[in-house]
Amino acid sequence: MTRAVALAVLLVACGIGVAVLVVRSSVPNVTSHECGAPVRDHVALVDALRCDGFRVEPTERSTALPLRGHGTVLTVTDIRTPVRIAAPIEVNSFWYDDTDLGGDARAIAEVDTRKFAPDGSLRDAGQRIYYLGTPHLFHSERVIVLYAGSDRAMLEVLSRLLGPQFAGG
């Protein structure tokens, strides 16, 4: 499986190409909440996926300009029988924290969603983003999730947990 959001982000500004994305480093353990809580942030997303029968492993930090949230690549594996997704899938979860961002993280995440056109491209004509699959972008309060792929079961799960995608295919 390709790196879902080893989505090669390429920013082109003032004629200078700036490469982006997956920054490899260790990822801290995630504190858990309870099952059934609404998905409002990164931790609740991880918990909701785990409660839904998926193994979720944060594998590395990621960066996707122009998103200002902190990103983590999550490898999602179905552990239920029968399985809904046959192979592990990677999604990028960008979490928005008031302290880290120095302001209202919900508002900052909302502003970041408006940087994307309906097809998942960037609205700023001086910037380009390239995905390694069909882009699907989701948002709920303090989390933006990018999934570059076409697995219907994964799309259904993300839509159920986060609401309909706000951009992408």
Q: Is residue 2 part of a domain?
A: no
Asked if residues 4 and 20 have their Cβ atoms less than 8 Å apart, the reply is: no
**CA atoms 151, 33, 104, 67: torsion sign:** negative
Q: Is residue 155 part of a domain?
A: yes
Taking all residues of the chain, what is their mean pLDDT, rounded to a whole number?
84
Q: What is the mean pLDDT of residues 33-37?
A: 78
Per-residue pLDDT reduced to its tens digit, 3-12:
433 333 333 3
Q: Is residue 33 part of a domain?
A: yes
Q: Is residue 3 part of a domain?
A: no
Q: Is residue 1 part of a domain?
A: no
Domain range enclosing 108? 9-168
Q: Is residue 116 part of a domain?
A: yes
Placement of tokens 């046959």 in the chain: 86
Q: Is residue 52 part of a domain?
A: yes
DSSP per residue over 99-113, as a string? HHHTS-HHHHHHHHH
Q: Is residue 45 part of a domain?
A: yes
The yes-or-no verdict on residue 45 having pLDDT over 90 is yes
Give the count of domains, the chain: 1
Per-residue pLDDT reduced to its tens digit, 69-115:
999 999 999 999 999 999 999 999 999 999 999 999 999 999 999 99
Q: What is the pTM of this model?
A: 0.81
- Rounded alpha-carbon distances, angstroms, from residue 50 to 5, 55, 56, 76, 167: 21, 6, 6, 9, 25
